[in-house]
Amino acid sequence: MSDKTFAKIKLAAFFKSKLNIFMLVLIVLLTSALCVSSTYLYKRTKKVQAVSASYSEEQRRLDEAKKEIEEIKSQLEQEQKNNGDLKAQLEQKENEKKQLEEKVSGLQSEIEQLKAKKEQEQASVVPAPAPAVPPASKVCYLTFDDGPSDNTLRILDILARYNAKATFFVTCNGKPEYMKNIHTAGHTIGLHTASHNYAALYASTDAYFADLQQVSDMVKSQTGVESKIIRFPGGGSNLISQKYCPGIMSQLVVMTAERGYYYFDWNVSSEDAAASRVRADIIVNNVLTQAKNKNSICVLMHDEAAKTTTADALPAIIEGLTAMGYRFEALNETSYGYHHSVKN
Ligand SMILES: [Zn+2]
């Protein structure tokens, strides 16, 4: 048998075995399936790995974002806290501002009050100009120096009887308790100095003002009135003062005005000081005689314990002057001064 024949026989034998063919096909199919499956699994694993990596990345970013949010939140809380603090500070400052404003306003009103007071004081220091001429109408200013005394109440009774007002230039020597009676009755209290001691009060301008202040304080304590009406002991024309201080009257007439006082002399003298007790009819005659041919008069009399005749003379003086057309008024700061010419 030839080789060719032998191969044919062998192949035929082989194909005769269908099982073998089936097995072969199965092996080929299984191998192919395995290959496809492996490839698919590989790809799938790769994809899972990629998604997993992506997930991790996203997770990391999420964590970072969360962290950032926490930080921002904490910053926000801090800011809110700071804002709260600032708000409290602002409120405190506003309160302080309000208090300061109130204080400033209080101080401003105090300043205004002080200014007004100062202006008032300055105004009171600069006296209003006294009338340069005596009043044209018939007016009589009765003045009583050196009281109050044991005669004061009697004088007040007589004045009340005639409804006449007068002026009392007082000292601290007699009965200061009667100052109230004079004031209550509506008369003017003028200052005549406390001591009426020429040697002491005309020693210097300082001595004069110290003495004047004493009587001013006494009048104020007795009546509540701070009088600016004054009369120099001996009058503005006195020469006695020259013995103690040359030129003092010239200084005092200026200085008293600068300090807000108004001084008054007289143009009719009752001459009741000519003796310790001048007869009443002489006193009456002195006054009525000097009152003739005058429009207005300022009459000098005295209110001293010893001078009972002055009070005795008073009704006749008032009646006589009334008959001459005079009315009786008390001096005030706007009255004419009846100044004498200053000789010292
Ligand atoms: Zn006197």
Q: Per-residue pLDDT tens for 208-232?
A: 999 999 999 999 999 999 999 999 9
Confidence of residue 197 (pLDDT cuts 50, 70, 90): very high
Give the alpha-carbon dihedral of 67, 71, 74, 78, to 10 degrees. Answer: 180
Identity of the amino acid at 304: E
Query: In angstroms, rounded to a whole number, what is the distance separating the alpha carbons of residues 327 and 135?
Result: 12
Phi and psi, residue 275, nearest 5°: -140, 175
Q: How far is the CA of 244 from the centre of ligand 1 (A)?
A: 17
If phi > 0 it is left, if psi is from -120 to 50 it is alpha, else beta; for residue 294 that is beta
Q: How far is the CA of 80 from the centre of ligand 1 (A)?
A: 87
Q: What pLDDT score does 20 carry? A: 82
Q: How large is the average pLDDT for residues 280-287?
A: 98
- Name the packing angle between helices 248-258 and 205-223 (round to 10°): 40
* Other beta carbons less than 10 A from residue 124's beta carbon: 13
Nearest-5° Cα angle at 23, 18 to 25: 95
Give the alpha-carbon dihedral of 157, 162, 168, 172, to 10 degrees. Answer: 0
Q: How far is the CA of 201 from the centre of ligand 1 (A)?
A: 12
Q: What pLDDT score does 134 carry? A: 86
Q: How far is the CA of 86 from the centre of ligand 1 (A)?
A: 78
Percent of the chain with pLDDT over 70: 94
Query: In angstroms, rounded to a whole number, what is the distance separating the alpha carbons of residues 295 and 137?
Result: 6
User: Is pLDDT at 15 greater than 80 in this prediction?
Assistant: no
Q: How large is the average pLDDT for residues 76-98?
A: 90
Q: How far is the CA of 314 from the centre of ligand 1 (A)?
A: 18
User: Is pLDDT at 116 greater than 90 in this prediction?
Assistant: no
Distance, CA of 256 to chain centre: 30
Mean pLDDT in the chain? Answer: 92
What is the value of pTM for the model shown? 0.65
Q: How far is the CA of 125 from the centre of ligand 1 (A)?
A: 25
Q: How far is the CA of 144 from the centre of ligand 1 (A)?
A: 9
* Other beta carbons less than 10 A from residue 215's beta carbon: 26
Which residues fall inside 5 Å of ion ligand 1, going by CB? Answer: 145-146, 233
Q: How far is the CA of 302 from the centre of ligand 1 (A)?
A: 8
User: Is pLDDT at 128 greater than 70 in this prediction?
Assistant: no
Q: How far is the CA of 232 from the centre of ligand 1 (A)?
A: 8
Q: Which of 57-66, 107-116, 254-263, 264-273 has the lowest mean pLDDT?
A: 107-116
Higher pLDDT, 21 or 7: 21
Q: How far is the CA of 328 from the centre of ligand 1 (A)?
A: 21
Q: Which of 132-136, 150-154, 335-339 has the lowest mean pLDDT?
A: 132-136
Q: Which of 128-159 are b and which e, b meaning 16 or more Cβ less than 10 Å from the residue's Cβ? A: eeeeeebeeebbbbbbbbbbbbbbbebbbebb
* Other beta carbons less than 10 A from residue 343's beta carbon: 13
Q: How far is the CA of 301 from the centre of ligand 1 (A)?
A: 9
Residues 6+ positions from 328 with CB-CB distance below 8 Å:
139, 140, 141, 142, 159, 162, 164, 165, 166, 318, 321
Q: What is the pLDDT of residues 294-315, one digit of tens each?
A: 999 999 999 999 999 999 999 9
Q: How far is the CA of 234 from the centre of ligand 1 (A)?
A: 6
Q: How far is the CA of 52 from the centre of ligand 1 (A)?
A: 128
Query: In angstroms, rounded to a whole number, what is the distance separating the alpha carbons of residues 104 and 110?
Result: 10
User: Is pLDDT at 10 greater than 80 in this prediction?
Assistant: no
Q: What is the pLDDT of residues 256-282, one digit of tens each?
A: 999 999 999 999 999 999 998 999 999
Q: For tokens 């006589």, what's the residue? A: 320
Q: How far is the CA of 145 from the centre of ligand 1 (A)?
A: 5
**Topology of domain 139-328, per CATH?**
TIM Barrel (3.20.20)
Q: How far is the CA of 211 from the centre of ligand 1 (A)?
A: 14
Q: For tokens 């009443």, what's the residue? A: 280
Q: What pLDDT score does 129 carry? A: 64
Query: In angstroms, rounded to a whole number, what is the distance separating the alpha carbons of residues 9 and 112?
Result: 148
Q: How far is the CA of 227 from the centre of ligand 1 (A)?
A: 17
Q: How far is the CA of 146 from the centre of ligand 1 (A)?
A: 5
